[in-house]
Structure 1
Amino acid sequence: MRAFQLASLSIDALEQTDVPTPQPAADEVLMRLRAASLNYLDLMVAQGHLGDARLPSFIPGTDGAGEIVELGSRVAGWAVGDRVVAGLIVDWVSGPIGRANSQRLRGVSMPGSLADYAVVPARALVRLPDHLSFLEAATLPIAATTAWNALRAAQIGPGDVVVLLGTGGVSLFALQFAKAIGARVIITSSSDGKLERARTLGADVTINYRTTPAWDEEVLAATDGAGGKLIVETVGPATFARSVNAAAAAGTIYTVGFVSGMELTIPLLPILLKTLRIIGSNTGSTADLAETVRAITELKIRPVIDSTFAFGSTRDAYRLLSEASHFGKVAIDITQR
């Protein structure tokens, strides 16, 4: 089968190769991958910051969707031909995350989605919504699940204020979910063009943080000083203090990303005075992914895909993601050579 492997720790070292098709164990399925999507996590793996890339045999790619072509001997409840998407953390079925169920991550510490086929534990699978293509479904495991969990953690409902940083996949899923349940959304970007596109998705207030660096003060002004009940913090150290300032009393800062770095210094007093909840995100369990898929099905949400690349152009997809110029998700059509 075709697969991309990391010859060394660099995007430029992603090489397309031919490798044997894996065989499923008793509790696994063999999945024919039709599409993949990229996340910042994929960049971290390719650059050697995360994961267990046992060079040169490691197959990266965290998110993927496809169809079952073979069942392990103990697999029940699934059939050949079922359209499925695989969760990121394959042993985290439901409930709290712990050491025992958090070690195997697709495309991070085990082979991922940038191949024609993959073996996946049956417990990590969720059936695809009928209204989504494979390409659309491939965007769900990390970005959509993270966004849905953020809204659930903050108990967002009609009229609540959600503040989103940037226009990547998590932010746009959170925008769509929030508007579908009647919340008010404030979103930031350095691009007026992206902000205009966000308004077409329903954003109520848009802030260009390059021309308005004190975007947190703009959030407070737009909410009569109240702030956001939920801040989806996708950036990290460069924005965290402003996120604290922009948060409402008893609000939630849902910490998703670290594109500006991994070391954080934050003001403690406003966290105490506002009784803020700061929640770290590790995507979610298979049950979380299943709930996200149900929400997407009921709300008829369609993922926002910025660009789609043929399988042979996977390196170009990684480069686009690294430039941070995309709006929504970057996808790979594995059926296109």
Structure 2
Amino acid sequence: MRRYMITPGGGIDSLTLIDCPTPEPGPGQVLVALKAVSLNYRDLLIADGLYPGGGASGIVPLSDGAGEVVAIGEGCRRFNVGDRVAGIFMQSWAGGEIADADLASALGGSIDGVLSEYRLFDERGLVSVPDALSFEDAATLPCAAVTAWNALFGMKPIMAGQTVLTLGTGGVSIFALQFAHAAGARVIATSSSDEKLARARALGAAETINYRTTEDWASEVRRLTDGRGVDMVVEVGGPGTLGRSIAATARGGSVQMIGVLSFAQIDPLPILTGGVVVRGLMVGSGEMFEGMKRAIVTNKIKPVIDRRFTFDDAVGAYEHLRSAAHFGKVVIGVAQ
């Protein structure tokens, strides 16, 4: 089989395609022929050496993939040959609260990921893929979609009639827009591109803000909410945007802090005086994945795929993600 290796800190240029033996499943293991994988901003951070995890000798990158079971090991009870499956981001986080040990089971970071023609999984590290979803659709879900789901419904679920602010139009933000809209929430979306904002409105955003032409977008959010602010912000920027996200949040609302795309100091006083909850989260569990999957099928939500690349052009997929020109997810097809 073929798989890619990348050296954390070596940049995209360190991405190398190699041949290696196809593994055989041991007790409780499942061999999956991967059909599609997708990229997240985390994968660029790993390539640039800005994300914890990954050895100096290199790892198989990417956390998100879907495929078909082609062999099962002794004692495997959850899956059969021919089943369609997708991997869980943290292989050991089946449900409940996250444990420190779960962080060491993150695909494509702490352990080898899915940019490979075949991969062995523990059967507990997989979820089934509904017939309504293609392999490409399913490959977009494990990180970005589960993260958005956890943000919206993992602590204090967003309710119909409440207002959600999403930042940008990457994978997490687009899934958050789709999930919140399906739940009956009002969504305000931001982007630096009017074209992308038009696409966000087509997906259900009630209002949009171009943060390049409206630098004080927190005040604009306040204006759009009659001075109240939003009930929840899906915050993917990190410290560089966190202060404005807090300023845009209603008293008692929450900022779901997911990404660290920019860095700056923040003033904690508005958190105190505004009664704002700032919650950090790391993707989600297999249990969350299952609940999200049912909601996607019930609401007929279609993952937004910006562009598809071939397995041999994985470098091109990384470069496209780096350009920030994408809207939604970047997918790589895997063909054996």
TM-score (norm 1): 0.96
1:110 aligned to 2:142? no
- In the alignment, the residues of structure 2 paired with residue 54 and residue 334 of structure 1 have an alpha-carbon distance, to the nearest angstrom, of 25
Partner of 2:303: 303
AA aligned opposite 1:54: G
> Helix, strand or coil: the match of 1:325?
coil
- In the alignment, the residues of structure 1 paired with residue 276 and residue 89 of structure 2 have an alpha-carbon distance, to the nearest angstrom, of 29
- In the alignment, the residues of structure 2 paired with residue 115 and residue 56 of structure 1 have an alpha-carbon distance, to the nearest angstrom, of 17
> Helix, strand or coil: the match of 2:136?
helix
1:330 aligned to 2:312? no
Task: Please tell me whether the aligned partners of residues 32 and 69 of structure 1 are also in contact (alpha carbons under 8 angstroms).
Answer: yes
| 1:216-273 CA distance string (max 9 Å, x none) | 0000000001111010000112211100100011101000111113xx5222222112
Structure 1 residue 123, shift from structure 2 partner: 0.7
Aligned residues: 334
- In the alignment, the residues of structure 1 paired with residue 101 and residue 75 of structure 2 have an alpha-carbon distance, to the nearest angstrom, of 22
* More off after superposition, 22-31 vs 62-71: 22-31
User: Cα gap change, 1:154/1:81 in structure 2, threshold over 3 Å: closer, same or farther?
Assistant: same
- In the alignment, the residues of structure 2 paired with residue 259 and residue 143 of structure 1 have an alpha-carbon distance, to the nearest angstrom, of 15
- In the alignment, the residues of structure 2 paired with residue 62 and residue 254 of structure 1 have an alpha-carbon distance, to the nearest angstrom, of 21
Partner of 2:62: 61
Partner of 1:36: 37
- In the alignment, the residues of structure 2 paired with residue 129 and residue 252 of structure 1 have an alpha-carbon distance, to the nearest angstrom, of 32
1:319 aligned to 2:319? yes
- In the alignment, the residues of structure 2 paired with residue 206 and residue 99 of structure 1 have an alpha-carbon distance, to the nearest angstrom, of 38
User: Cα gap change, 1:112/1:215 in structure 2, threshold over 3 Å: closer, same or farther?
Assistant: same
> Helix, strand or coil: the match of 2:148?
helix
> Helix, strand or coil: the match of 2:101?
coil
Task: Please tell me whether the aligned partners of residues 175 and 185 of structure 1 are also in contact (alpha carbons under 8 angstroms).
Answer: yes
Structure 1 residue 100, shift from structure 2 partner: 2.6
- In the alignment, the residues of structure 2 paired with residue 294 and residue 159 of structure 1 have an alpha-carbon distance, to the nearest angstrom, of 22
Partner of 1:21: 22
Structure 1 residue 7, shift from structure 2 partner: 5.3
AA aligned opposite 2:183: I
Gaps of 5+ in 2: none
- The share of aligned pairs that are identical, in percent, is 47
AA aligned opposite 2:294: R
CA RMSD of aligned residues (A): 1.4
User: Cα gap change, 1:7/1:209 in structure 2, threshold over 3 Å: closer, same or farther?
Assistant: closer
- In the alignment, the residues of structure 2 paired with residue 237 and residue 323 of structure 1 have an alpha-carbon distance, to the nearest angstrom, of 21
- In the alignment, the residues of structure 1 paired with residue 20 and residue 7 of structure 2 have an alpha-carbon distance, to the nearest angstrom, of 14
AA aligned opposite 2:223: A
> Helix, strand or coil: the match of 1:89?
coil
Structure 1 residue 290, shift from structure 2 partner: 1.1
Task: Please tell me whether the aligned partners of residues 33 and 66 of structure 1 are also in contact (alpha carbons under 8 angstroms).
Answer: yes
- In the alignment, the residues of structure 1 paired with residue 192 and residue 58 of structure 2 have an alpha-carbon distance, to the nearest angstrom, of 39
Partner of 1:148: 149
| 1:28-82 CA distance string (max 9 Å, x none) | 2111100000001111111222244335552111100001111121211210110
Gaps of 5+ in 1: none
Partner of 1:163: 165
* More off after superposition, 8-17 vs 238-247: 8-17
